[in-house]
Amino acid sequence: MPVMTGFEFVKAVRMQSQYKFTPILMLTTETSPEKKQEGKAVGATGWLVKPFNPETLLKTLQRVL
């Protein structure tokens, strides 16, 4: 993302009260446990590594919703 990282975006969204409980699924190429933990720390609800298949997307969405 040109203006901010995905982590910065999630953090900014979570700072707005109307989105405090909105599920946020991070779609990324990152696979490290450290990055996944960082996403969780800033408020991401779920983590999905690209590329992914439709079945994996549906399962992940069901889990976070």
Interatomic CA distance for residues 7 and 44, integer angstroms: 8
The pLDDT assigned to 2 comes to: 84
Instruction: Kindly state whether residue 33 falls inside one of the protein's structural domains.
Output: yes
Q: Indicate if the pLDDT at residue 1 is higher than 90.
A: no
The residues, any chain, with a CB within 8 Å of residue 9's CB and separated by 6 or more, are 1
Provide the whole-model pTM. 0.85
CATH code, domain carrying 35: 3.40.50.2300
Instruction: Kindly state whether residue 25 falls inside one of the protein's structural domains.
Output: yes
- Residue 25's domain comprises 6-64
Cα within 13 Å of Cα(59), Cβ side: 6
DSSP codes, 13-53: HHTSGGGTT---EEEES---HHHHHHHHHHT-SEEEESS--
Instruction: Kindly state whether residue 11 falls inside one of the protein's structural domains.
Output: yes
Instruction: Kindly state whether residue 10 falls inside one of the protein's structural domains.
Output: yes
Reported as a single tens digit per residue, the pLDDT across 4-59 is: 999 999 999 999 999 999 999 999 999 999 999 999 999 999 999 999 999 999 99
The residues, any chain, with a CB within 8 Å of residue 55's CB and separated by 6 or more, are none
The pLDDT assigned to 10 comes to: 98
User: How many domains are contained in the chain?
Assistant: 1
